[in-house]
């Protein structure tokens, strides 16, 4: 898919917000690159990399930093029934709707939640689910008089907890309209059940797979494998919690990493228990005791009130027909997710206002430039992202901008260049960062250039640290009978070329100092951006990953919430009344590639495997210090693990690179 031509897609935003504050590859080497700022930063944002540890936070204070979560509007959805002339207008629009927008009155919107959920907008030919389109469909259905309710099929999901939280929020918002949402769960784990709990009723077939057994976190290590192969990894990581690289150099988990992962797991598990107990009207202890019993029988789940009824899919449909008073000899009118995605918001009366707010999405690993092997739809290309930022900055029609981030990081240089452009944009108009599943390391680097940062409570963020490394393949070369000789000029000329030997002392010293220099720049800019002293930032940096909730308590995040709250804060900073509708302009809506179009038409043999594509991309152009989050694998938080433990281990590590 090419992003050389970026179309602008507009959609309307009808949320009325409450103005009261919230109450509550493996590669053969990793070379380093210096982060270079070629031009001075404008005076309002001048940055001194030599901040002393005694610098006061007041000397770094910026006008646009908020005073905490409570200082911002909540962005909560407030349903307002369509009445009078507006009701007549909506009815007229639905009558004259385009053929593909026509929906029978009394229809059920059927949404199947399964597999990976992207934070990017998708073309109509793209496979998989898109969180923006899920949110749009729930919003349209809320006001669409032709839709009576939602039938939600929830199957095995492969996404983070922030997306799960947003879907749950959309369900609860939809229910404010008085319409119903029922869930059908043939296969259910913690994430799937977390969403289902937001529905009015939960159905499951008698043969359903339920595995509500708790959560685990795991880390795999390949040092022993490398020793057997004759590969010596040489890694320089800055930050005691920056465990990206430990999987290569160690055989066990460090105590610091164990501490960090334990805290993350405790936060996620505690949040799950709290939300589920509240939704099911049970005590938290009762939920935890039930989990510890290892119950898997569906009838036991029904008996304990964890599901509403044991029914097959056809029986649920019959029940819905009875609810909507559809005759038994008639079919229940159902509109599927893909068809309903073609219904315009205008058709159902969801209109926006005159003020425009731009949304720029940044999802996937960060790369500085695009290569023939890169997958633009699954990565952030720094050059292209900067083009969008500059377009918004130069345009007078946008009142504010939101940077929507779902990234574990990547190239440190690209992260810094994008940070600068976001800072320049923030000098001309309000910029809010909205975090999805993960905005860590390079992803956080981007976010800290915004005027305010909004994260979900279980967003994984922070990881302010860097890692750089190389492999000594000398012993492996001996085993396979390969030899390599170098002729060089310059003391450090062989630093990146001589993978057949270990680093010499002077090379190792330069290697370490270079990584330390980049970490210092990252940390100091984070301190400056968040109005902290360097010492204070060092306490929360060190490569540590935080949940959004903990990040907020440590000053790394300003507010907890989703995209709707980010929009509410953008309106506040742009002096737009909270009850006034705005038009959201999505930049970077993808155009479908030929393989996607053919695949969408049913040809499953077209297109390269994206995982291999990404691996080849990393093998060919990974040449800089990486600002990436550690390869954390939460069992039962992601897809089922690979049956091959070695493949699972390699996939885990590749995911962290």
How many Cβ atoms are within 10 Å of 58's Cβ, its own excluded? Answer: 8
Q: Which two tokens stand for residue 49?
A: 């990399």
Strand 545-547 to strand 460-462: parallel, antiparallel, or no bridges (unpaired)?
Answer: antiparallel
| Marked catalytic residue, from 441, 457, 463, 588 | 441
From the candidates 122, 163, 242, 345, give the one annotated as an active-site residue.
242
Please check whether residue 2 is in contact with residue 589, taking contact to mean a CB–CB distance below 8 angstroms. Answer: no
Report how far apart, in Å, the C-alpha atoms of 271 and of each of 21, 174, 456, 556, 633 are. 22, 22, 12, 20, 18
Helix (H, G, I), strand (E, B) or coil at 40: coil
Helix (H) / strand (E) element for 232: namely strand 232-238
Evaluate whether 455 touches 548 at the Cβ level (below 8 Å): yes
Encoded tokens for 533: 């002293």
Task: Provide the 3-class DSSP secondary structure of residue 507.
Answer: helix
Task: Spell out a b/e string for 633-654, using b for 16 or more CB atoms within 10 Å of the CB, else e.
Answer: bbebbbeebeeeeeebbbbbbb
Judge whether 463 and 442 are in contact, CB under 8 Å: no
Is 441 in the active site? yes
b (16+ CB within 10 A) / e for 319-345: ebbeeeebeeeeebbebebeebeebeb
Asked if 23 and 583 count as a contact pair (C-beta separation under 8 A), the reply is no
DSSP letters, 165-196, are: HHHHHHHHHHHTTT-EEEEE-SEE-HHHHHHH
The backbone torsions φ and ψ at residue 40, rounded to the nearest 5 degrees and listed phi first, read: -65, 150
Distance CA 604, CA 558 (A): 44
Angle, CA 160 vertex, CA 11 and CA 343 arms, to 5°: 25
Per the structure block, which two tokens stand in for 573?
């900073």
613 catalytically annotated = no
Measured CA to CA, the distance from residue 427 to residue 45 in angstroms comes to 8
H or E element that contains 210: strand 209-210
DSSP state, residue 29: B
| Distance from C-alpha of 154 to C-alpha of 307, rounded to nearest angstrom | 13
> What is the CB neighbour count within 10 angstroms for residue 38?
6
Cα distances (Å, whole numbers) of residue 188 to 133, 287, 298, 488, 589: 23, 16, 11, 60, 32
Hey, CA dihedral for 276, 278, 281, 283, is it positive or negative? positive
Cite the active site residues. 242, 441
């Amino acid at each position: 898919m090419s992003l050389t031509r970026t179309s602008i897609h507009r959609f309307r935003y009808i949320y009325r917000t409450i103005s009261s504050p919230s109450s509550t590859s493996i590669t053969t080497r990793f070379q380093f690159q210096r982060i270079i700022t070629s031009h001075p930063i404008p005076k309002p944002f001048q940055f001194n990399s030599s901040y002393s540890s005694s610098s006061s936070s007041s000397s770094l204070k910026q006008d646009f930093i908020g005073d905490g979560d409570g200082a911002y509007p909540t962005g909560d959805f407030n349903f307002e029934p369509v009445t009078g002339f507006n009701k007549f207008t909506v009815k007229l629009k639905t009558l004259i709707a385009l053929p593909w927008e026509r929906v029978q009155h009394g229809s059920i919107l059927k949404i199947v939640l399964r597999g990976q959920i992207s934070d990017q907008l998708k073309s109509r030919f793209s496979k998989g689910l898109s969180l923006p389109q899920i949110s749009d469909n729930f919003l349209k259905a809320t006001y669409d008089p032709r839709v009576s309710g939602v039938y939600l099929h929830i199957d095995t999901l492969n996404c983070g907890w922030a997306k799960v939280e947003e879907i749950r929020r959309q369900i609860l918002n939809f229910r404010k309209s008085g319409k119903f949402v029922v869930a059908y769960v043939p296969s259910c784990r913690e994430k799937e059940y977390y969403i289902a709990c937001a529905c009015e009723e939960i159905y499951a077939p008698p043969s359903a797979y339920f595995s509500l057994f708790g959560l685990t976190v795991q880390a795999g290590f390949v040092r022993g494998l490398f020793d057997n192969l004759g590969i010596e990894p040489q890694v320089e990581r800055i930050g005691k919690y920056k465990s990206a690289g430990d999987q290569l150099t160690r055989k066990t988990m460090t105590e610091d990493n164990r501490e960090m992962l334990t805290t993350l797991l405790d936060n996620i598990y505690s949040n799950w228990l709290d939300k589920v107990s509240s939704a099911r009207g049970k005590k938290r202890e009762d939920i935890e005791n039930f989990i510890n019993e290892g119950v898997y029988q569906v009838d036991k789940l029904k008996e304990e009130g964890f599901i509403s009824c044991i029914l097959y899919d056809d029986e649920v449909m019959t029940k819905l027909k009875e609810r909507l008073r559809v005759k038994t000899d008639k079919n229940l009118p159902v509109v599927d997710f893909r068809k309903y995605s073609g219904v315009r918001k205008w058709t159902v009366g969801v209109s926006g206002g005159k003020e425009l707010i731009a949304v720029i999405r940044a999802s996937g690993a960060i790369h500085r430039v695009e290569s023939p092997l890169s997958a633009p739809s699954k990565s952030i290309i720094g050059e292209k992202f900067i083009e969008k930022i500059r377009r918004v900055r130069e345009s007078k029609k946008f009142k504010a901008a939101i940077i929507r981030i779902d990234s574990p990081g990547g190239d440190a240089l690209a992260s810094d260049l994008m940070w600068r452009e976001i800072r320049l944009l923030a000098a001309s108009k309000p910029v809010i960062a909205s975090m999805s599943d993960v905005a860590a390391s390079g992803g956080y680097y981007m976010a800290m250039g915004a005027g305010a940062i909004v994260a979900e409570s279980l967003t994984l963020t922070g990881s302010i640290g860097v890692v750089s490394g190389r492999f000594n393949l000398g012993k492996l070369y001996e085993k396979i009978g390969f030899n390599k000789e170098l002729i060089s000029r310059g003391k450090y000329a062989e630093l990146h070329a001589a993978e057949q030997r270990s680093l010499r002392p002077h090379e190792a010293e330069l290697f370490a100092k270079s990584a330390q220099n980049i970490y210092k720049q990252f940390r100091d800019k984070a301190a400056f951006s968040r109005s902290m002293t360097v010492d204070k930032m060092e306490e929360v940096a060190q490569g540590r990953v935080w949940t959004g909730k903990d990040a907020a308590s440590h000053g790394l995040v300003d507010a907890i919430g989703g995209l709707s709250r980010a929009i509410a804060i953008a309106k506040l900073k742009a002096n737009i009344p909270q009850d006034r509708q705005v038009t959201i302009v999505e930049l970077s809506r993808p155009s479908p590639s030929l393989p996607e179009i053919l695949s969408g038409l049913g040809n499953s043999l077209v297109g390269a495997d994206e995982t291999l594509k990404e691996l080849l991309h990393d093998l060919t152009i990974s040449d800089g210090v990486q600002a990436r989050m550690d390869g954390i694998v939460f069992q039962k938080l992601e897809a089922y693990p690979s049956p091959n433990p070695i493949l699972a281990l390699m996939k885990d590590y590749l995911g962290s690179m």
